[in-house]
Amino acid sequence: MKPFFIVLCCVIALFPGVSYTEEAIQLEHPQAEVDHWFDDALFIGDSLTRQLHNTVMKERHEEKHTLGKALMLASPNYTIYNATRRFSSENVVNIQYRGLDWSVFKLLKDVQPAKVFILLGMNDGMKKSHQHLIVRYAKALDLMAEAAPDAMLVVQALTPVTQKMKDPLLQQDLIDSFNASLASMCAEKGVYFLDIATPLKGEDGFLPMERSTDQRIHLNLEGIKIWVDTLHSFAQTRLQEHD
């Protein structure tokens, strides 16, 4: 690779009028390094994150290193509201870790991850007016930042649903609108927003049936692979920023 880089530098020197972007000559980091980047990451979410966890754990048992040593904790019915609570309670859904109930706040204070990937909202129900959910999400992010002030927070977009989804509170147009508001809120707070939704969509803007286990919302192996690929691309970009 070094000879190629030297030749490229010579070409630039010979033709100074030609513009070469940084991206054009930037080398990608090897896959092992990209997965290693997730070693100090924590994923928080609901049943979708549970699916990611199950798939990744299976691959790790097969001697693969998908997403490194990332810790993935999810509760199937977890909501944005649950993430705004400082303490666990018998009356709400909690995160299970080490055989105990945890709030996200207490969990982050204990684990102190360097990166936190969040995927929440599917259990909260989407409406045309979803500003209260965005405000609640912002509160949850504030608590996370308080609990782990040095952590990189990464909010993931809600994944798409198929055209068969009949739940009026989980229609694709409402999810798209929520994601747009979520992205704006993240920009205002200086938090990363990762669009994992667009790569999962088909040409019609919905989740294709062939990427779903239940033909509605949950992802199969093909869908999970697309999600993981998007996470890898995000990590690749962060690594290149530090080159």
pLDDT digit string, tens, across residues 139-177: 999 999 999 999 999 999 999 999 999 999 999 999 999
Given this model, what pLDDT does residue 243 score? 86
Confidence of residue 10 (pLDDT cuts 50, 70, 90): very low
Is the predicted pLDDT of residue 69 greater than 90, yes or no? yes
> How far is residue 52's CA from residue 196's CA, in Å, rounded to a whole number?
13
* Cα angle, residue 72 at apex, residues 108 and 138 outer, rounded to 5°: 50
Confidence of residue 190 (pLDDT cuts 50, 70, 90): very high
Phi, psi dihedral angles at 61 (to 5 degrees): -65, -20
Given this model, what pLDDT does residue 136 score? 98
> How far is residue 179's CA from residue 172's CA, in Å, rounded to a whole number?
10
> How far is residue 141's CA from residue 146's CA, in Å, rounded to a whole number?
9
Given this model, what pLDDT does residue 26 score? 60
CA 176: distance to chain centroid? 16
> pTM score, two decimals?
0.88
Given this model, what pLDDT does residue 29 score? 95
With tokens 């709030």, the residue in question is 103
Task: Express as a percent the part of the chain with pLDDT over 70.
Answer: 89
**Tokens at residue 155, please?**
């909010």
CB 41 within 8 A of CB 67: yes
Query: What is the dihedral sign for C-alpha 217, 53, 136, 199?
Result: negative
Given this model, what pLDDT does residue 92 score? 84
CA 36: distance to chain centroid? 16
What is the overall mean pLDDT for the chain?
90
**For residue range 71-124, what is the model confidence (pLDDT) as tens digits?**
999 999 999 999 999 999 877 899 999 999 999 999 999 999 999 999 999 999
DSSP labels for 45-63?
Answer: ESHHHHHHHHHHHHHHHTT
Is the predicted pLDDT of residue 23 greater than 70, yes or no? no
Provide the H-helix boundaries in the chain: 2-14, 22-25, 31-36, 47-61, 80-83, 104-111, 131-147, 172-189, 221-241
In the chain the domains, ranked by start, together with CATH numbers, are 28-241 (3.40.50.1110)
Confidence of residue 222 (pLDDT cuts 50, 70, 90): very high
- Nearest of 42, 186, 48, 183 to residue 105 by alpha carbon: 42
